[in-house]
Amino acid sequence: MAGQVRRMSALPAGSQAPEAGLTRFLARAIARARYADLNAATLAQARLAIADCMACGLAGADTPAVRALAAAMADAAGPCGLWGRGERAAPHAAALINGTAAHVHALDDTNESMRGHPSVAVWPAVAALGEALDAGGEALLLAYCVGVETAAKLGRCVNDRHSRLGWHTTSTLGPVGAAAAGAVLLGLDDVRTAHALGIAASMAGGLRVNFGTMTKALHAGWSAHNGVLAARLAADGVTASEQALEGHEGFVALFCGDEDGKPEAAASWGAPWELEAPGVVIKQYPTCSLQHALIDLVLEARAQRPLDGPGLRLECSISQRLDAMRTQGWPTHGGSAKFSVEYGVAVAALRGTQGIEDFTDEAVRDEAVRAMADRVRVQVGAHLTPGNGDAAELRVFDGQTLVHQARREKPCGHPSHPLSEAAFADKFHALGDPALGAGRARQLLALIRALPSAGARALAQAAAPAG
């Protein structure tokens, strides 16, 4: 690997519109970002999201998709730890495996600008490359924040046309964000950072047709892998177009069309940081995030009254965005159940919860859930807030009598309805304890909460199983 490249003086966040071109503008902002630019709110959200990502990775570490991937990458030996596993791997391979593990259960965070999952694409890349470089806590936090910022600001440039075309944004925007994070860790200058972004832009992809399969999780890991590789290649002198994002037949043109692209949306880079506003949504349920407000409503209704009886009917109004990606018809396996509104509502109404164990192939065959789902009616709510993919309304009927009605704009876990510290700790330990044991999981969470006190190697060691 090439040695670190000396940076130029700092660029104040949000101080320039991308007049020289989107790629060069982002490269300059990335190369000149400094830890001192990060405010307390951004750092607090970064620690929360990093902890969430690592907990999700621990929960996915021993799933079939990750076991198969680890076996396929066994030849890619190196110094970097695999969360919740005993093996070690090269930085790009560790990013791939840890990123895939963190997305297997669909419990990792989301961001509204990106319309996807930022941390699962960026943090595994930062953690792996940071471990190889023995990076300290400030470098890790800066790289992570810059990576999320880049992916989300690029999302503002291409969404929502990009998302509506069927691209999995985690796998298209994610590699560019991960490459930006890698450029920070490697200390790349403006030019080499632009090359890293250009290399990653050519690696972008991910088809939403693969939602509900193991390949969806691979999208996230591949984003982290490609970001690490793009940054290392740029550090070693591999070039790419410095108009890769905005140029003719570039990222914006091909992923959303010039007529729908908004490269000027990147001008607010760092002002505010995306981790501060709109922030990240910490998911409570292992399903498509756009149905989480509806699931909250079902659980709240169930807490107020029994959801049973021969006349029970649940009428659910959902957003157009959720309707476009939900599973139609009864899900055939656990993966497709994550995108079935009827199935998700039925599980919540019947059991008063919604967890990983509810989305297995065996769970989908539960006749009691199927019977409850027959009482669920789903429609697009024309009266819901336009553009809000989370918005939902629930109406509960007993025969022809409306007995409960509620509407929600955002789910619990959204920055407007944040989880309590205790509720987040419960999620972290529910996911992390089985892989590490309660004691080691507490140690890992404490190290993350203490960032920047800990470095990459300390975090990696804490995320490894005992022995």
Residue 6 located in a structural domain:
no
Residue 367 located in a structural domain:
yes
- Of 226, 247, 281, which residue sits at a domain end? 281
Per run of 10 residues, the mean pLDDT along the chain (length 467 residues) is 35 51 97 98 98 98 97 96 96 98 98 97 98 98 98 97 95 98 98 98 96 96 98 98 96 95 95 97 97 98 93 97 94 95 97 95 95 97 94 97 97 96 97 97 98 98 92
β-bridge pairing 88-89 and 80-81: antiparallel
Give first-to-last CA distance, the chain, whole Å. 31
- 0.85 exceeded by pTM: yes
Same domain membership, residue 139 and residue 105 = yes
pLDDT at 86: 87
Same domain membership, residue 308 and residue 218 = no
CA distances to 214, 236, 371, 446 from 432, in Å: 21, 37, 33, 13
pLDDT at 13: 41
Same domain membership, residue 192 and residue 44 = yes
pLDDT at 224: 98
pLDDT at 9: 30
pLDDT at 110: 97
pLDDT at 16: 47
Same domain membership, residue 271 and residue 317 = no
Residue 352 to residue 345: CA distance in whole angstroms: 10
- Of 281, 310, 331, which residue sits at a domain end? 281
Domain carrying residue 92? 22-281
Residue 84 to residue 207: CA distance in whole angstroms: 28
Report the half-sphere exposure of 337 (CA within 13 A, side-chain side).
28
CA 150 to chain centre: 14
At 72, which CATH number? 1.10.4100.10
Residue 421 located in a structural domain:
no
Same domain membership, residue 271 and residue 319 = no
Same domain membership, residue 402 and residue 330 = yes
Residue 207 to residue 268: CA distance in whole angstroms: 29
Q: Give the DSSP H or E segment for 402.
A: strand 401-408
Same domain membership, residue 69 and residue 121 = yes
Same domain membership, residue 301 and residue 240 = no
State whether residue 369 is helix, strand or coil: helix
**Which of 172, 243, 181 shows the shortest CA–CA distance to 206?**
172
Same domain membership, residue 315 and residue 212 = no
Same domain membership, residue 162 and residue 76 = yes
**Which of 234, 244, 182, 209 shows the shortest CA–CA distance to 24?**
244
Q: What total of structural domains would you count in the chain?
A: 2
State whether residue 413 is helix, strand or coil: coil
Q: Which residue has the tokens 């055939």?
A: 332
pLDDT at 10: 35
Residue 137 located in a structural domain:
yes
- If one counts every other C-beta atom within 10 angstroms of the C-beta of residue 368, the result is 11
Residue 2 located in a structural domain:
no
pLDDT at 410: 97
Residue 416 located in a structural domain:
no
Residue 226 to residue 234: CA distance in whole angstroms: 12
Same domain membership, residue 322 and residue 261 = no
- Of 248, 264, 281, which residue sits at a domain end? 281
Residue 427 located in a structural domain:
no
Residue 436 located in a structural domain:
no
pLDDT at 433: 98
Same domain membership, residue 317 and residue 273 = no
At 349, which CATH number? 3.30.1330.120
